[in-house]
Amino acid sequence: MTAKLRIDAKDRQIVRALQQDGRLSNIDLAARVNLSPSPCLRRVRLLEEAGIISGYTAVVDPKAVGLTITAFIRIALARHDREVVAGFEARVRDIDEILDCYLLTGEADYLLCVLVPDLDAYENFVRTRLHGIPGITSITTNLVYGTVKTSRVMPV
């Protein structure tokens, strides 16, 4: 975040609209939030500069691209010194199959969200990618067999 920005109700409307459809033209966005195009664009640029809007992306259906297995993996580290933690986090950032990595409280230290094509690929992922990371003391996996809700739209 490059600047501190206090957002108002109109900014929140803009953020909600862009979360729902990041491909809206400025003209369509302005109409949707009841602003003229110039002030709308100015607000969007300020939201981007402040880091409130940090980017735009396409939402891809994992199954449509052959990623049929979603696994949530809890990781516990043997030690929590700076070297082990930094090493683990650096390795995780470089593994494409890991979509998200969260630092946790409780029994596990991290929660990973992993996408792979099938169970053979999952086994290979654990054996060749995770087991190769120093400092891991336990790996606990939950496989997803259905999705009730998934969203990247934040309630702003």
> Average of pLDDT values for 73-90?
97
CB neighbours (10 Å) of residue 11?
Answer: 20
pLDDT band at residue 36 under the 50/70/90 scheme: very high
SS3 124: helix
Sign of the CA dihedral with 32 first, then 34, 37, and 39 last: negative
DSSP H or E segment with residue 98: strand 98-103
DSSP per-residue letters across 102-155: EE-SSS-SEEEEEEESSHHHHHHIIIIIITTSTTEEEEEEEE----S-------
Residues 72, 112: contact at Cβ < 8 Å?
yes
pLDDT for 53-64, tens place per residue? 999 999 999 999
- What domains can be seen in the chain, in order of their start residue? 9-49 (1.10.10.10), 63-143 (3.30.70.920)
Residue 1 has pLDDT above 50, yes or no: no
pLDDT confidence of residue 4: 79
Helices (DSSP H) in the chain: which residue ranges? 9-20, 26-32, 37-49, 82-93, 119-124
pLDDT confidence of residue 37: 97
pLDDT band at residue 3 under the 50/70/90 scheme: low
> Average of pLDDT values for 64-82?
97
pTM exceeding the 0.85 threshold for the entire prediction: yes
Specify the higher pLDDT residue, 4 or 14.
14
> Average of pLDDT values for 127-156?
95
Residues 110, 101: contact at Cβ < 8 Å?
yes
> Average of pLDDT values for 71-75?
98
